[in-house]
Amino acid sequence: MGVRKSVVKIHDPQDEMRVYKIRGVDKTIIARKGGPTSEEVKSGENYSGLRKNQKEFAAASNLASTLRHSLPKKMAKICEPYVSGKLTAEFRNLAQMSQGDVGKRPIMISANGKSLEGFDFNPNCPLKEVFPQNIMVMNGSTYGQLIVHVPSFTPSEDLEGPEGATHYQIISHLVLLSDYTYQSKSKEYNPSEPEFHARHITNENPIHPLINYPEESNTMQLSIYDGEPIPEHTGLFFILGIKFYQYKQQKYTDLAENSAMQIIKVY
């Protein structure tokens, strides 16, 4: 007697998807089959609004990426997994503050960058809860220089470290971002000041124990000024991180997920 064979068809969700690119947008677009074709999205009149929004989104994403990639490894570890999307949304808001047609509105870091002050890279550990001290940040004598003053504090009392933390470290970071404007010739967004865009510098304080003894106040200067005046169509982002460590068996364990980092000032 013959054996009856049956064929089981396995459904692959990827069979329903297609991938394509839009000029001026770095990210790959993924859409379901059966919807608009890639050509319709790229040039169809009905999708003009989508293309314009995608261009602004791509510019905001590039700015967020530039800021994140400027961070040293120690600070990058503090970022939560979804920080890229949240930063992109913040920069996209700057485009919405500008006048003009959607898809061509400038992202004015120089005029509206202050709206990013207070942004926490790890919302599970807001800096104000971890280190509620009044950190003073002032402009130096030249644009591109900042003076940072950390008042005296007692680590064991004034730092809200995670369980098991034995040490801490203060890291300061300064990065310059240019305004982003739409270029009609290339039909893409580019930094207004590409030669200055993404300049950065970092200062790492030594790792100190969480002791019940006051630390002396500390004043430092951060500068990306190299003798050439920095153009006005830029913004200085000062970022402060408080990292915690556990010292055990002569080894420091990085407690990055329980550390804090915030955009303190934008000039």
Q: Tens digit of pLDDT for each residue in 220-245?
A: 999 999 999 999 999 999 999 999 99
Write down the pLDDT at residue 41: 46
pTM above 0.75, yes or no: yes
Structure tokens at 262: 């915030």
Q: What is the DSSP code string of 205-231?
A: PPPEE--SSPBPPEEEEEE---SSPPP
- Contact between 174 and 224 under an 8 Å Cβ cutoff? The reply is yes
Q: How confident is the model at residue 52 (pLDDT cuts 50, 70, 90)?
A: confident
Query: Would you state the pLDDT for residue 133?
Result: 86
Tell me the C-alpha to C-alpha distance, in Å, between residue 103 and each of 43, 50, 60, 181, 187: 15, 9, 11, 10, 10
pLDDT reading at 209 higher than 50:
yes
Mean pLDDT of 108-135: 96
Residue 119 burial (C-beta neighbours within 10 Å; 0-12, 13-18, 19+): buried
Distance CA(263)–CA(32), nearest Å, equals 38
Measured in whole angstroms, the distance separating CA 155 from the mean position of its chain's CA atoms is 28
What proportion of the chain, given as a percentage, has pLDDT over 70?
82
Would you place residue 47 in the very low, low, confident or very high pLDDT band (cuts 50, 70, 90)?
very low
pLDDT, residue 36, reads: 53
Give the model's pLDDT for residue 46.
44
**Spacing of C-alpha 258 from chain mean position:** 18
Region 28-56: mean pLDDT is 60
Tell me what pLDDT residue 203 has.
Answer: 97
Return d(Cα 58, Cα 19) in angstroms, integer: 17
